[in-house]
Structure 1
Amino acid sequence: MLKLHRVEPSADLWADRATYEDRLIFHTREWIRFVAECQRAEPLLAVVTDRGRPVGHFTGLLARRFGMRILGSPMAGWTTSYVGFNLRPDVSRRAALEALMPFAFGEAGAAHLEIRDRGLAEKDLGGLGLRWDAAPTAVIDLNPTEDQLFGAMASACRRNIRKAAKSGVVIEDAGDDPAFADEFYDQLRDVFAKQNLVPTYSVDRVRSLIRHLAPAGNLLLLRARDADGRSIATAVLPWYHRTMYFWGGASYRPFQHLRPNEALIWHALRWAKERGVTEFDFVGGNAYKAKYGTTEVPVPWARRSRSPLVAHLRDAAKQGFALKQRTVARLTRQSVAIPG
């Protein structure tokens, strides 16, 4: 029978976690520090044991919302895709999830739990008092040759990549440019404005991500410049172990006809492949990503609350955030329109 035991971070603990084949960047010390800082949350690390023998790890963060403790692994809005477990290949994820329930609502003292684990499937969730949403992601297998990867894209996507090159669009590694976060965020505001929305997070989150991940060498920051040298698009791409992730991309609308976004993705795919990365994860299943030759992978987002009231508060908060985002966008447009 599996059990979870909370542990304190240590050099030996991080070293052991790095031996698991299912490890993701979202399980690393750097990423957890990033989320903890942005969400004012407390990291919660646990060892999974089977009759006293360590067989895995659980990663989560405790935060306080509405005066209650929530355990996110992760929570929606944390700009973190999957967390959950690291487990030995012979250990059942369903059994680990079952063991998480008494731990979350007992030792961890949580009133609400959310989990999205890359290895969990909907068949693992039944009978545990969980509610869940389908939350697929789009991935690209980077094992084929570059020619095969390019050929798997939609013809229009290939044309756009060629057009970007012919138009003089150049992709560069922004490296440690201190202006990159503000540059990306300014372009991101333009992306959201197209949908009459505002970004769901502030520029401080971008700065925090760069500050925590860049020193570890697990972050690729790309910039697209037009023929006149202007920055017209950017991309933020964390990577670790076998996977690169599309954390964020942005571009200015007046230059989108030059197709810098497709050029950025194509550059990132080749960059990752050259470094032995075998998967590119778009972190979401939006339809526009299919043009890159993606495969959809189901990754359910599950949740459970101590009481129906807590579940209602969670759903109300999600709806309230969406309304607030639309309202802020409307007020922003109105303020810009007022003659000064």
Structure 2
Amino acid sequence: MNYKILSEYPNEDLLAKWNDFLANARFPTHYVTPNFFVDPFVRGGERFVVLAFDENEKIAAILSGVDDGRKIVSGLFVRPQTAFRKDADKRQAAGTLLAGLKAKGGERLELIDLHSWEQIDEFKDLDFLGERAEGANTIIMLDLTKGADRIFKEFSQTRRNEIRKFLKQNQVLIAEIENADELAELYAIHRDWNERKGNEPDTFESFKLAFEQKDYRKIFIAKHDGKIIAGSYYRFCAGGVIEYAANNSLVEYQKLRPNDLLGWHSIEWACRAGFAHYSMGGSHLFLRRFGGYELKTYRYRLDRSFLRIHNLKENVRNFGLKTYRNLPLSVKTRIKQFAGKVR
């Protein structure tokens, strides 16, 4: 096998090979499509993609990521950015991806941090440390080949009852966002939601670009009496995996369960559109009530720094987090109060 490193959108010949790969890959997602190069939300360094080609010049595996000059990062536990062709030799493909990553980083490269939907022991054989997702890093995955009706039956009883109740009341309209006025109204909710959470909102320009990328993203909104009260955002690879990316909603209207209705509407749409899998992008209680199964993804890390300093820092951080979680609630409360005063 051989590799190719891209830092820009592919030409027509390579695009055709890329699309053929996506149609024959396991877990093809938005961030392993060519749209990765023009996606408005990729941050953290220079964008790149490593393509592994087999002896027939077919793409056998793809990895996308960012390079900050010392570290290469590909995805997260809840959003892997690797994919393999279903019939690929994974050992060769993994080795070829690693060769491409090392070539991309050069001598300055200290750390490779990549994530995969499935266990790939071949990375361990290449001196990577493997870690399986646990706790908040796991994903609820829906098998859309079951069809919407069967998936609905696997929702929790509470979720089914609430959806039936509010569909019957017909107070909330769910639809795809359509125009610039609706986008501006939803963006105001996005800003309000982030301010309440203490987060930096995305720029309106990024928001608008995501709205325009209709072949790779979808935005559904919930309206009550003509007013937008919530919106959910999705990214996808056609025919592959659709991922629940984010949600913004107005607190005062949550009693109407707009987010439950948005989730159900998106699942119905994804089944009709022919997607194979629906990733909830997390595993907290709200997401678990949509049924499905818990998927534990994998991280593979190669620390090339002196004294493996990146691994040491993470071990110290993880020890601190574990210690904090085991503290009595009263102590954790005082720590939070003190931290708030320091800020």
Q: With structure 2 as the length reference, what TM-score do the two structures score? A: 0.76
Shift of 1:219: 2.0
2:17 match: 16
Helix, strand or coil: the match of 2:124?
coil
Structure 2 SS opposite 1:13: helix
Looking at structure 2, the residues matched to 234 and 212 of structure 1 have their Cα atoms a distance apart, in angstroms, of 13
Alpha-carbon offset, residue 309 of structure 1: 1.8
Of 91-100 and 8-17, deviating more is: 91-100
Is 1:33 the counterpart of 2:33? The answer is: no
Q: Is the 8 A contact 1:133 1:302 kept in 2?
A: no
Query: Match for 2:275 among 270, 274, 277?
Result: 277
Partner of 1:43: 47
The residue identity in structure 2 corresponding to 1:160 is: E
Please tell me whether the aligned partners of residues 52 and 97 of structure 2 are also in contact (alpha carbons under 8 angstroms).
Answer: no
Unaligned runs of 5+ in 2: 322-335
Q: CA 1:288/1:179 → structure 2, altered by over 3 Å: closer, same or farther?
A: same
Aligned to 2:194: 189
Inter-partner Cα distance in structure 1 for 2:217 and 2:185: 13
71, 82, 103: which one pairs with 2:100? 103
User: Aligned-pair RMSD on alpha carbons?
Assistant: 3.3
Residues 314, 106 of structure 1: alpha-carbon distance in 2 compared, 3 angstrom cutoff? farther
CA gap of 1:290–1:215, structure 2 versus 1, over 3 A, is: closer
| Residue 209 (structure 2) pairs with residue 220 (structure 1) | no
How many residues matched? 308
- Name the SS for the 2:79 alignment partner: coil
User: What is the CA–CA distance in structure 1 between the aligned matches of 2:143 and 2:59, rounded to whole Å?
Assistant: 28
Which amino acid in structure 2 is aligned with residue 303 of structure 1?
A: R
Pairwise CA distance, 1:92: 3.0
CA offset digits 1:174-198 (Å, max 9, x no partner): 12433155234135327xx4xxx42
Aligned to 1:121: 119
- Structure 1, unmatched stretches of 5+, are 321-325, 335-340
Q: How does 1:289-308 map to 2 (within 5 A)?
A: 289-307=287-305, 308=308
User: Is the contact made by 1:184 and 1:235 (CA closer than 8 Å) also made in structure 2?
Assistant: no
Change (3 A) 1:184 1:278: farther
Query: What is the match of residue 171 of structure 2?
Result: 168
* Matched residue SS, 2:281: coil
For residue 157 of structure 1, what is the aligned residue in structure 2?
A: 159
Residue 314 (structure 1) shift: 6.5
Distance of 1:207 and 1:246 partners within structure 2: 21
Secondary structure of the structure 2 residue equivalent to 1:116: strand
Establish whether residue 309 from structure 1 lines up as the match of residue 309 from structure 2: yes
Match of 2:150 in 1: 148
Map Cα deviations across residues 74-106 of structure 1 (whole Å, 9 max, x no partner). 268xxx812123x33332334433333343234
Counterpart code for 2:71: I
Partner Cα separation in structure 1 for residue 207 and residue 115 of structure 2:
20
Q: Deviations over 1:209-263 (max 9, x none)?
A: 651563443322111122x333221101123222321100122222212111111
Tell me how far apart the structure 2 counterparts of residues 315 and 51 of structure 1 sit (CA, whole Å).
41
